[in-house]
A and B are shown apart, each in its own frame.
Chain A
Amino acid sequence: MGRLKTFTRRAFLIGSTAVAGGVAFGAYAVGKPHANPLLDGLGDNEAALTPYVRIDGDGVTLITPRADKGQGAYSVQAALIAEELDVELDQIKVDPGPPAPAYWNRAFAEEGAAFMAPGDGIANWMTHGALSAAIKTMGMQVTGGSTTVPDGFVKLRQAGAAARETLKLAAAQKTGVAAGELKTQAGQVMLPDGTSIPYSDLATIAADIEPPQDTALRDPSEWRLIGKPMQRVDIVPKSTGTLNYGVDYKIDGMVHATIVLNPAQIGPMNSFDASEALKMRGIKAVVPVTGGVGVVANNTWRAFQAARAIEFDWGPAPFPAAMEDHWQALAESFNDDAIDSRKRDDGNVEHAFAETAGLISAEFRAPYLAHAPLEPISAIVRIDEDGAEIWTGTQIPRFIQNNVGKITGLDPDQVKVHVLYMGGSFGHRLEDEVVKQATEIAMQMKGTPVKLTYSREEDMVHDFPRQIAMARMRGSVRDGKVEAYDLGISMPSVVASQMARQGLSVPGPDSMIVAGAWDQPFAIPNLRVTGYRAPELAPISSWRAVGASSNGFFYNAGLDELIHAAGADPLEERLRLCNIPEARKALEAVAEMSGWDGVLGDGRGRGVALTQSFGVHCAEVIEVTNTDAGIKIDKAYVAAEVGTVIDPVNFDNLVKGGVIFGLGHAMNCEITYTDGIADQDNFHVFEGMRMHQCPVIEVRGLENGSRTLGIGEPPVPPAAPALAAAIFAATGIRLREMPFHKFVDFA
């Protein structure tokens, strides 16, 4: 732990190396400063002022290494840098930058979005072999776990401040005016006489200046950008069809490829016959890849067509053929030998149960779910003798360098990765199978850029879905209050499945099995939360909110059954039990926003849920009406505690989107397997929410907490249980399994 604290205190390390007329100095929190990756390729009159700021004659480019999957990460990162650098958002360009250790995600490692629970010290994990190696060697340049804001909130402002002060020193050198008398504004250094020098004119001088290391960050009262509505940097191109997503990207000489994989997930290909496909117009080659073939053509559609003309002999999937066997494996894992963690054991649930006459019990289920971002996954790969170049939308560029290195025999440093805009992800692009497959194809046609585009069907069927999960609860009530709650959750380990694909084995318990359940802000006198690790079934991956996406439903739905048995009001009893002030304020906020005053009646119902995930306490109230056409979701009220709302517009958009995402999947989405083959292959059977089903959503960002937190994931977990509770209130139907459309219709 001590070592890490040292890193943190030294969080503002500066390295300075003059290269080709430019300079780089940086702010990054690691033991040994990682090289500033921007120094490679700097031209004359260019300066890389920290790994996050690059200045040339044309202006200022801010490097935003957390990938933008649509959550506005580029804009938020740019705003944090610009706040201190004193540039306006319409003056700068953003660039995700190259994969580099300098861009490692400290919050990801510390908060352990995907790897551990808050409270586990990073030192414990740093000393563990595999993950430690991963963090060190890969730099953990990962986008995920709602960590872009917590990771960057201080670091990026420090980078902006360091660059600003250096530019002032450069201006002082150029003009002879003392740096203390200089001010900065809108991309210029302002001199006392009223004249100004654009930053771009100072790059060459700045290159030779040792940057100051101890610039204090501005007081929040001085913020120009943070907390105020901003125009996203990508909003004009995204509204005019002019943004190049990964799937739109073109490289000269590029061929269009698609893939056919064994429909039985990760099953082997025994043989194939492409003779008919090869006769089709525009088809250049059909080549084997791991688990299937790549079809190379001069047009994506021609590749799709030819893919259907190939005959295959497939092997079986290496997991149970029937869905009931998946559920059976989860059910059988509720035993002491399979206990993965018991992180909460307050009071004594067994004593409480021995004294109650009315033990309450229930079982809950959450299905596999596809990520299904609207842009299907794609990658362009060109392999040359001395290097590889990759263009793709990804959350894990450093893993890609490593994996392409392994396939090609190249050194990872010879693998250049360009991170492109992504049409959504929801965790899908934390996997890099598409890049590995494109690399396998490109290895068979060296020198030719190969663009591999998945069809929607291949994308959905071969997604590594959200974990399947089951929960069993027992509980008791006394005197109108919840007395005891024993919640067991069984699921396979997402982390184990995901990291195994990167060749890593992660020791110890997987806190995702109990995330969103063990650490909730309710002081139930007797409370036990146990995670049971089910055997690996179908391969699974991180899906928006990961463990909490299923467990937020389990925890709240179980609690609701107890509150109902106690005859208490779902919101009042949660408030009574709540023992964290920030969580209480979130509950009070949704109570006020919704005018909560008990039952609605007349075929209407309301439900409430609160889940703490990724440190954010997010409360939601959902109101529904039971109509002739089915359940209509009328309103949603959301309050989330994030410390500081950086951009209220983007915050509002992300929260609403998270609620819609949570509701839509709870309503009607699941992935089921028959003989290892996903039964759902497109949006006709994986519908999600549509415009006419979308409730009016009111959002409130709360800023009572001391930590600034991300909002990409936390609105998702409470949506399903609040909906289930509202439907129960309106219809008397208790929903214990998602998706709910198996039991009720939706209008």
Chain B
Amino acid sequence: MKTTTIAAILSAALFALSPSAATAETGSGGVVNEFADGSVTREEGLTNWQTYYEVASHPRCSNCHVGASNQPMWTGPSYGASLGKARPHGMNVNAGESRIGVETLMCSTCHTTLSGPDPDANAEPHAAPRVAGAWQLAPVEAEWFGKSSSYVCNQLRDPERNGDRSIREVAEHLDHDVILHWAWNPGGGREPAPHSLQMAMDALMKWAAAGTPCPAE
């Protein structure tokens, strides 16, 4: 059993570490709308960035965009809001450098993998959310939790830290990654990420058309 198990874990890990194949890809039905370069003013670009940052900094997204601690966060009315602060995921959970828990406890131990998309799969309050893909943290370069608008903005436009993607590719990634789709339909009474997937994609593309301006610190 041991060999099989390790092989399974490794293949899961490799799968996770490849950004383009991070999760099962299913288009959300969103559209990557094009905006010509220069058609969006810098001011509008910053406004669109702010829209995107409202998504990126929302706990539904940023809880799993954590840094080298590899510890996801819990934020929300049931997870410490009465204490007025966010907190690390309970149960000493740490996703390891693999970001899927290979070295520690596989995220999929609790965040099981659906055999196909199901918008109603997360109706149970406080259960482990799940999607039709391997549950995992975002890459460590994309550390968003607790980071400023300026920091996240500069990270996202930096190919060194965004998986070597154009902004269009980032928008396509949004369209394809089923974990991200969950953020807008989290179920179980969880607060969804603000705006919508389409608005987030449009905000990104307008920001790009404005030349990816970033706010000052």
Contact between chain A and chain B defined by CB under 8 Å: yes
In the complex, A745 Cα to B88 Cα: how many Å? 11
Closest to B69 in A: A629
A9 an interface residue at 8 Å Cβ cutoff? no
**Which residues of the other chain, B, contact A684 by a CB distance below 8 angstroms?**
78-79, 90, 126
The 18 sampled A-B contact pairs (Cβ below 8 Å) are A629-B88, A682-B126, A684-B78, A684-B79, A684-B90, A684-B126, A685-B78, A685-B79, A687-B90, A690-B90, A690-B91, A690-B92, A691-B92, A692-B92, A693-B92, A741-B83, A742-B83, A745-B87
Task: Quote the shortest CB–CB distance from B86 to chain A (angstroms).
Answer: 11
Q: Which residues of chain A from 626 to 685 have any CB-CB distance to chain B below 8 Å in the complex? A: 629, 682, 684-685
Interface of B is mostly: loop
In the complex, A692 Cα to B93 Cα: how many Å? 10
In the complex, A690 Cα to B83 Cα: how many Å? 20
For the complex of A and B, the 5 pairs showing the least CB-CB separation, nearest first, are: A692-B92, A684-B126, A685-B78, A682-B126, A690-B91
**Which residues of the other chain, B, contact A693 by a CB distance below 8 angstroms?**
92
**Which residues of the other chain, A, contact B83 by a CB distance below 8 angstroms?**
741-742
Q: Which residues of chain A from 679 to 730 have any CB-CB distance to chain B below 8 Å in the complex? A: 682, 684-685, 687, 690-693
In the complex, A691 Cα to B90 Cα: how many Å? 12
**How many contacts between A and B, using CB within 8 angstroms?**
18
Contact with A along B71-90 (1 / 0, CB 8 A): 00000001100010001101
**Which residues of the other chain, B, contact A742 by a CB distance below 8 angstroms?**
83
In the complex, A688 Cα to B83 Cα: how many Å? 16
Interface size for A (C-beta < 8 A) is: 12
**Which residues of the other chain, A, contact B78 by a CB distance below 8 angstroms?**
684-685
Q: Which residues of chain B from 83 to 123 have any CB-CB distance to chain A below 8 Å in the complex? A: 83, 87-88, 90-92
**Which residues of the other chain, A, contact B88 by a CB distance below 8 angstroms?**
629
Task: Quote the shortest CB–CB distance from A742 to chain B (angstroms).
Answer: 6
**Which residues of the other chain, A, contact B126 by a CB distance below 8 angstroms?**
682, 684
Closest to B126 in A: A684
Q: Known contacts A684-B79, A685-B78, A692-B92; can you find 11 more A-B pairs with CB under 8 A?
A: A629-B88, A684-B78, A684-B90, A684-B126, A687-B90, A690-B90, A690-B91, A690-B92, A693-B92, A741-B83, A745-B87
Task: Quote the shortest CB–CB distance from B10 to chain A (angstroms).
Answer: 26
In the complex, A188 Cα to B83 Cα: how many Å? 64
**Which residues of the other chain, A, contact B90 by a CB distance below 8 angstroms?**
684, 687, 690
Closest to B74 in A: A684
Task: Quote the shortest CB–CB distance from A738 to chain B (angstroms).
Answer: 14
**Which residues of the other chain, B, contact A682 by a CB distance below 8 angstroms?**
126
In the complex, A693 Cα to B126 Cα: how many Å? 22
Task: Quote the shortest CB–CB distance from B96 to chain A (angstroms).
Answer: 15
In the complex, A691 Cα to B83 Cα: how many Å? 23
**Which residues of the other chain, B, contact A629 by a CB distance below 8 angstroms?**
88
In the complex, A308 Cα to B91 Cα: how many Å? 28
**Which residues of the other chain, A, contact B91 by a CB distance below 8 angstroms?**
690
In the complex, A629 Cα to B83 Cα: how many Å? 16
Task: Quote the shortest CB–CB distance from B145 to chain A (angstroms).
Answer: 15
In the complex, A691 Cα to B93 Cα: how many Å? 12
In the complex, A745 Cα to B78 Cα: how many Å? 17
Contact with B along A731-747 (1 / 0, CB 8 A): 00000000001100100
Task: Quote the shortest CB–CB distance from B124 to chain A (angstroms).
Answer: 10
**Which residues of the other chain, A, contact B92 by a CB distance below 8 angstroms?**
690-693
In the complex, A691 Cα to B94 Cα: how many Å? 14
In the complex, A312 Cα to B71 Cα: how many Å? 41
Task: Quote the shortest CB–CB distance from A52 to chain B (angstroms).
Answer: 43
Task: Quote the shortest CB–CB distance from B40 to chain A (angstroms).
Answer: 43
**Which residues of the other chain, B, contact A691 by a CB distance below 8 angstroms?**
92
In the complex, A629 Cα to B94 Cα: how many Å? 14
In the complex, A102 Cα to B78 Cα: how many Å? 49
Task: Quote the shortest CB–CB distance from B185 to chain A (angstroms).
Answer: 19
Closest to A308 in B: B123
In the complex, A21 Cα to B83 Cα: how many Å? 68
Q: Which residues of chain B from 122 to 155 have any CB-CB distance to chain A below 8 Å in the complex? A: 126
In the complex, A692 Cα to B71 Cα: how many Å? 14
Closest to A683 in B: B90
**Which residues of the other chain, B, contact A745 by a CB distance below 8 angstroms?**
87
Task: Quote the shortest CB–CB distance from A747 to chain B (angstroms).
Answer: 9
Contact with A along B171-207 (1 / 0, CB 8 A): 0000000000000000000000000000000000000
Closest to B78 in A: A685
Q: Which residues of chain B from 45 to 87 have any CB-CB distance to chain A below 8 Å in the complex? A: 78-79, 83, 87
Closest to B88 in A: A629
